[in-house]
Every structure is written in structure tokens, then in C-alpha cells.
Structure 1
Amino acid sequence: MANTKSAKKATRVSARRTEINKNRVSRMRTFVRKVEEAIASGNQAEAAAALQAAQPELMRGAQKGVLHKNTASRKVSRLAARVKALKA
């Protein structure tokens, strides 16, 4: 348990940031899930539209520190490749 005033404040701040980051992660996962569902359905146009919506969400997550920048880029790249493969 935190004893000093600054440690107590750090605990409060950490709890607040954790809640915000949970929401951000959940939001990113939702957008990625929509892309995956569109890919699974085989609808290329719907998958491309879902990817267009998911890409800024993933990059925003990287910018806010929820994801590493390279992780977000990798996820976008892999999703884009899967959407592109639907055409063939």
C-alpha cells in the first residue's frame, strides 16, 4: 500500500490512465474485428472500407502509447495484405 502522498497520487493517476487505455485497446480491437469479419465473409469492398476505418484507430493507439508504432504498422500491413488477397 502506498504510504507517501506522492505514491498515493501516482496510484490514482495510474488507475485513471489504465481505464482510459483499456477503452482505447477495446476500441482498436473492435475495429480490427470488423475488418476480420468482413474478410471472413469474403466481401472485398466491405473489408476495404473496414480497413480504412481501422487504420487511423491503430495509428492513434500507437500515438497514444497503447501500442508500439511498429506493432500498429505491422497489424495494418497484414490486414491490408489479407484484404488485397480477397481480390485474387
Structure 2
Amino acid sequence: MKTHGKIKTSISLSTHLYDSAKEMVDSNRFSSISDLVSTALTDFLARLEERELSEKDQSNMKFKELLEAYSKTDEGHKFLEELARYEKKR
């Protein structure tokens, strides 16, 4: 059931997680367990996306470093010259 841009769902929590969540709600850190779960999931997904982007950036950086190192070798230099000649013909 959708209400105000949200979808109502159901989850199962361990007793420990439920007790911790209930304690946070009771101490007014969150307005409800639903609020806490939404906040936690939002934070988790943002961190996951950030980590995936970071890994992608690191992979791209490694590729650039390898390409740069390869281009400094005789074989790499010849390859790049051949590639440049090929591009000019196109």
C-alpha cells in the first residue's frame, strides 16, 4: 500500500536489532522504527554506491597507470604510433 510517496512493507528483525531500534525510538533519536530503518537503509545504499564508484575510479586509475607505463615501452610506443596512423586513415 502506497502512502505519501512511501510503500508499506514488512521486515523481520532479530531480537537484538529490534531491542536496539526500540531503545533509539524510546530515547527520541528516531520518531519510529520505520524512520530508523529508512534512515539506515538510505545511509547503507549511499555508502554502497560511494564504495562502488570508488572501486570504479580505482580501476580506471590502474588502467591509466598501466597504459602510461605501456606507452613508455618500445612495444607500447610502436602500438600507439600504429593506432594514430589507423585513426588518421579513418
The higher radius of gyration belongs to 2
* TM norm structure 2: 0.41
* TM norm structure 1: 0.42
Q: Which has the higher contact order (CA 8 A, sep 6+)?
A: 1
Identify, as 1 or 2, the structure richer in strand.
Answer: 2
